[in-house]
Amino acid sequence: MTSHTQTMRAAVLGGYGEPLAVTGVPRPMAGPGQILVRLQACGVCHTDVHIWRGESVPPHAPSPFVMGHEGVGRVEALGEGVSGWAVGDGVGVPWIHDTCCRCDECLDGYESFCQHHRAHGLNVPGAFAEYVVCDARFAVALPETIDPVTTAPLMCAGITAYGAVKRAGLKAGESAIVFGCGGLGLYAVQIASRLGVRVLAVDRDPVKLEIARIYGAAETEIADSGLSSRLAARGEKYHACINFAPTAATWEAMVAGIRPRGRIVAAAMVFQPVPLIQEWLTATGVVITGTSVGTRQEMRELVDMHVRKPLETTVETIKLEEVSNALAVLEKGQSKGRFVIRFAG
Ligand SMILES: [Zn+2]
Ligand SMILES: [Zn+2]
């Protein structure tokens, strides 16, 4: 029997920007409709850096304030009224803990745009801990065969890339430019390529472009000051431009590279304004939109794709005690890939 006195190890945020304290906290219990997950792995996302730094402050901080929203583990216990899950099942802990399930976005199948959603590691305790509680409706079913460490980043980075490719409305035979070949962009290159889309990958770093080629990009372009004029000079334009680069600097190149009626998708969080001439919209019919993570249906499609052939990413495995250091490295932009915590046992 689970008792209130049981504890777990967790990396707790005490003050913004301070190292997380790896300490014993009460082990949570699964309430009605919830499942308790024992973590095997959890990825560290750039959003965690924003939360750690106090740049994304929740209206009500979770208690304990444990970040982490790229968890993979096993079902440890079921709360009252939960069906469809069994103890021992493989389970993913994504960014979305739950949504309101009542607004137009939720009812129309666009739940990732629900303005009342709650996120793991921001609004409710996250997965930088040995255990976390999920809403059974939003937990991600994972088959036995997956590797927890390399699957963890799919729970945010992977689904964000998948959601962006879907948001771009890309179909087999179409073409897309993926701007920014960090973890998310490289997932998008693989996902779009597997869907039969011809991908042009863009990044400042030639090493990342080489990886993009290996992952399926048909062409690459270095993101230098001449990029926009090179794209403008091309006869052929692209059906979609997806931006994963956290900068407004790619805007001009997206305008230069997009076809009439093409789709520009903002996936990176860029806070600086970009110049937009409305007459260009009237003349071209280009659609400009944005995306954030993805829906449960998209997550299911992504997991199916991953099970058929694992989506690749460069992973650096760390211990829970090393998560503060990983956040600092991410903040400086010095990571070589995705940091993933591997839990002992
Ligand atoms: Zn994330
Ligand atoms: Zn909603």
Question: What pLDDT, on a 0 to 100 scale, did the predictor assign at position 172?
Answer: 98
pLDDT category, 335, cuts 50, 70, 90?
confident
Question: What pLDDT, on a 0 to 100 scale, did the predictor assign at position 247?
Answer: 95
Is the CB of residue 262 less than 8 Å from the CB of residue 240? yes
CA of 26 to the centre of ligand 2 (A): 31
CA of 110 to the centre of ligand 2 (A): 9
- For residue 154, the ligand closest to its alpha carbon is 1
Residue 104 has pLDDT above 70, yes or no: yes
- For residue 102, the ligand closest to its alpha carbon is 2
One-letter amino acid for residue 276 of the chain: L
pLDDT category, 327, cuts 50, 70, 90?
very high
Q: Cα–Cα distance between 208 and 111 in angstroms, integer?
A: 32
CA of 281 to the centre of ligand 1 (A): 32
- For residue 68, the ligand closest to its alpha carbon is 1
Q: What proportion of the chain, given as a percentage, has pLDDT over 70?
A: 99
In tens, the pLDDT along 120-153 reads 999 999 999 999 999 999 999 999 999 999 999 9
- For residue 115, the ligand closest to its alpha carbon is 2
Domains and CATH numbers, the chain: 7-156+294-342 (3.90.180.10), 159-290 (3.40.50.720)
In tens, the pLDDT along 5-29 reads 799 999 999 999 999 999 999 999 9
Residue 4 has pLDDT above 70, yes or no: no
Determine the 3-state secondary structure of 159 from DSSP.
helix
CA of 97 to the centre of ligand 2 (A): 12
Is the CB of residue 178 less than 8 Å from the CB of residue 199? yes
In tens, the pLDDT along 284-325 reads 999 999 999 999 999 999 999 999 999 999 999 999 999 999
In tens, the pLDDT along 146-184 reads 999 999 999 999 999 999 999 999 999 999 999 999 999
Is the CB of residue 87 less than 8 Å from the CB of residue 77? yes
